[in-house]
Amino acid sequence: MTKTATKKPQPINGAQALVQCLENFGVEYIWGLSGGAAIPIFDALVGSKIKLILTRHEQGATHMADGYARATGRPGVVLVTSGPGATNTVTGILTAHMDSVPIIVLTGQTITSMLGKDAFQEADIVGITMPIVKHSYLVKNTNDIPRVIKEAWHICQTGRPGPVLIDLPKDITSAPFTGGTLNPEMDIPGYKELPKPNQHDVLKMAGMFKGSKKPLLLVGHGAVIARAGDAIKKLAEKLNAPVTNTLLGKGEFPETHPLSLGMLGMHGTAYANKAIINCDLILSIGSRWDDRINGDNREFCVKAKKLHIDADFSEINKIVKPDAWVVADARETVEELIKHVAPLDTKEWLAELAFYRKEFPLKYENDKGLTAQYVLDTCYKVTNGRAIVTTDVGQHQMWAAQFYLSGRGDHWISSGGAGTMGFGFPAAIGAQFGKPKNLVVAIVGDGGFQMTLSELSTMFIHKLPVKVLIIDNKYLGMVRQWQELFFENRLSGVDLEGNPDFVKLAEAYGIKGFHINTVERCHDVMKQAMEYPGPCVIHAEVIKEGNVYPMVPAGKSAFHMIIEKPTGKLEKPTGST
C-alpha cells in the first residue's frame, strides 16, 4: 500500500492573497506606477496571470482603467503607491465617479504604526477621496484582504457603478496571510441591491403615454451602463417616438436610425432642442437631467409630462420633479414598459421635427480653410462610423459628438460630468487593451493631449494600434469661444503659443506621424492613417477661431439657443460652464 503525499499550501503574504483574489475575478490588466509603499504588491504581480501595465503617470493609469471599463463593461484596476502617487489618481477617480464607471484603485500606504504621523509619502487618500468614491477601505488586518477585494468588486459594478478605493499599508501587505479561504463571505449589510422594476410604478408610467401626440425618449449614460439599447429601440419603434441622447448616451440608440435626433443640450442639434421645447411627454432613461441639457428648470419641457427611469433613487426629484418614475435597472424597466404601451399617433410630430431638421441642419464651411468639423466628418466617413471613439473635453469633443455618429453606446467614451482634459488619449489605450480587435480613435484637442501625452510611451511599448487625432487650433478653444461671445473677445489664458510639432513629437517616441492642414489632403491622409497597422498620431491643424453651434448659453433653456454667430452683444451667462 502506497501513501499519496498531501501537498501543503504554501504560505502567502497579504499582497499575494490580494493578487490571487484579483486573478480569481478574471482581472486581465492592472495599470499603475510603482513606489515604496506598494512594492509588496508589485512584487506579488511577478509571475501572476495579471499583466501589469506600467504607465508614465498615475492619472494616465486611472483613465486607462476607466476606458477599459467603459469599453468592456468590466471593472478596471489601478495600482499606485502612497502620497503623491495616490493623490495623482484623484482626477481619474473624480472622472469615474461623475460618469458612474466601475474602477478599483489600490493605493499603497505607510505602515500602520506611522498612520497619522506625517510619515514619508503619507497622505490621507481615504479622506481626500471620500466625496468622489462609491466606497473606500483602509485595510488594517491582512486577513481582511480577500473580503475587502470581494466587496469592492461587487460594490463598484452593481447598482449605480462607481470607483472604490482600497488603501493598503505596507506592513499589511507584507504580513503573512492566515485567513484560510480567499473566497470569504461579504459583510455589507447596509448595501442595498438594485430592486426589480416595481409593477405599480411601471403601469403608472405606461399610463402616462396614453394620448401623447409629441413623445420624446431621452437616452442617458444609465442606459449605456445597463446595455438597454435593444430594448430602447423596440420601445421607440413601437411608440413611433423620436429619440434624443445626452453626450454620454451617444450610440445606445443608433444615431443613424430615422427616429434619432442626435444629442440635445448646450451643443446639441437644433432639432433635438426644438423637440425639447415642443414635446408633450419626455421619458428620461438613465439621464440625470444635468445642467448641460437643462440650464433653466423653469423653461425645461414646460408642456411635457416628465417620466424618469434611474438606478439611483437620489436622482429622482433632484433636478426635475417627474410625473412618474421607476427606480431600477434601465434595461429591465424598458423591457417591462414595452409590454404595457400602445403605438402612438406621431405622424404630425415627426413631420414637425423633419421640418426643423431641414431648416436647422448641422453644417460647416471650408471657405476659410480646414475646419475641425470637416476633419471629424471625414474621420467618420473613412471609418464608416465603426471605431471606438474616445475624446477629451472642449470644442473637439462637441464637434465629434455632432459629426461622428455612433451606433453603440460602448463605442463612445468621453468625460462627461467632470469634463476632464487629458482623458481621451489614455482612455483610448485602456479601450484598446480591452477590445484589441477594434479600431480605436482618440479624438483630442491640442490642450488636453499635452496633459497626458507622456503615455505615448505606453502606447508604443505595447504596440497598441490606437489612432490619436489631434485637433490643433492653437487655443483652449471652448474658453476662447466663451470669451469671444460673452466677454467682448477679451482673450485671457487661452493662447497655446508654443505647441510642438506633433508629428516630430510622435516620431521621437517611435510612433508614426501624419499631418493634415488642407481640405484637399484631408481624406487621403486620414485614410492612410486609419489603415496604418500600428499606433499613429494624426496632427490636424485647423482654423484657429471656429466656434461650435448650435449653442445654448449656460444657465439658459433651449428657448435661447443660438444657431449661428450672433451679430450683437450677448449677456454674460449665468450658469457655471
Written as one string, the DSSP assignment of 201-227 is HHHHHHHHTTT-SSEEEEE-HHHHHTT
What pLDDT score was predicted for residue 84?
A: 98
For residues 293 and 265, the answer to whether their CB atoms sit within 8 Å is yes
Residue whose C-alpha is closest to residue 42's, from 103, 104, 87, 106: 106
The DSSP 8-state label assigned to residue 437 in this structure reads T
The torsion region of residue 246 among left (phi > 0), alpha (psi -120 to 50) and beta comes to beta
Q: What is the pLDDT of residue 339?
A: 98
In DSSP terms, which residues pair with 109 in a beta bridge? Answer: 169
Q: Where do we find the cell 453644417? A: 363
User: Within its chain, how far is the Cα of 262 from the centroid?
Assistant: 18
Q: Give yes or no: 58 in active site.
A: yes
Helix (H) or strand (E) run with residue 418 in it: none
- Please give the DSSP secondary-structure letter assigned to residue 328: S
121 catalytic residue (yes or no): yes
Q: How many CB atoms lie within 10 A of CB 198?
A: 16
Helix crossing, 199-208 with 330-338: angle to 10°? 60
Name the grid cell of 321.
Answer: 420633479
| E runs forming strands in 59-184 | 76-80, 103-109, 135-138, 164-169, 176-177
Q: Which of 266, 398, 478, 530 is catalytic?
A: 478
Residue with cell 444657431: 563
Strands of the 324-327 sheet, one edge to the other:
260-263, 243-245, 215-219, 281-285, 305-310, 324-327
The active-site residue, picked from 170, 250, 474, 556, is 170
**Reduced to 3 DSSP states, what percent helix, strand and coil does the chain have, rounded to the nearest 5?**
40, 15, 45
Q: Are 169 and 115 in contact (CB under 8 A)?
A: yes
Of the candidates 25, 121, 381, 460, the residue annotated as catalytic is 121
Local confidence pLDDT in tens for the 577 residues of the chain: 445 556 666 799 999 999 999 999 999 999 999 999 999 999 999 999 999 999 999 999 999 999 999 999 999 999 999 999 999 999 999 999 999 999 999 999 999 999 999 999 999 999 999 999 999 999 999 999 999 999 999 999 999 999 999 999 999 999 999 999 999 999 999 998 899 999 999 999 999 999 999 999 999 999 999 999 999 999 999 999 999 999 999 999 999 999 999 999 999 999 999 999 999 999 999 999 999 999 999 999 999 999 999 999 999 999 999 999 999 999 999 999 999 999 999 999 999 999 999 999 999 998 899 999 999 999 999 999 999 999 999 999 999 999 999 999 999 999 999 999 999 999 999 999 999 999 999 999 999 999 999 999 999 999 999 999 999 999 999 999 999 999 999 999 999 999 999 999 999 999 999 999 999 999 999 999 999 999 999 999 999 999 999 999 999 999 999 999 888 888 888 887 7
> Residue for cell digits 462610423?
385
Strand order in the sheet with 76-80: 51-54, 29-32, 76-80, 103-109, 164-169, 135-138
pLDDT at 6: 62
Cα dihedral 408, 412, 413, 414 sign: negative
Angstrom distance (rounded) from CA 220 to CA 76: 22
Please tell me the total number of residues recorded for the chain in this structure.
577
Closest CA to 248 of 76, 427, 380: 427
273 class by beta-carbon count within 10 Å (0-12 exposed, 13-18 middle, 19+ buried): buried
Output the nine-digit C-alpha cell for 166. 482600497
Q: Of the residues 42, 58, 109, 455, which is catalytic?
A: 58
- For the chain, how far is it from start to end, CA to CA, in angstroms? 81
Note whether 71 and 44 are within 8 A (CB): no
The pTM is what? 0.96
- Using the CB atoms, write b or e for 429-444: b if 16+ within 10 Å: bbbbbbbeebbbbbbb
Active site residue 463: no
**pLDDT value, residue 3:** 53
Q: Which helix H or strand E contains 281, and what residues bound it?
A: strand 281-285
How distant, in Å, are the alpha carbons of 153, 190, 329, 430 from that of 187? Answer: 13, 9, 24, 31
CA distance 407 to 56: 33
Cβ partners under 8 Å of residue 569, min gap 6: 488
Give Cβ neighbours of residue 397 (< 8 Å, ≥ 6 apart).
Answer: 247, 391, 414, 424, 443, 445
In this prediction, residue 576 carries a pLDDT of 74
139, 145 contact by CB (below 8 A): yes
Question: Cα dist. 336→25, 196, 228, 367 in Å?
Answer: 31, 10, 12, 51
CA pseudo-torsion sign 131, 135, 140, 145: negative
Distance (Å, whole) CA 225 – CA 157: 10
Annotated catalytic residue 403: no
**Alpha helices by DSSP H, 435-553:** 446-452, 456-461, 477-486, 502-508, 519-531
Instruction: Report which residue type is found at 320.
Output: V
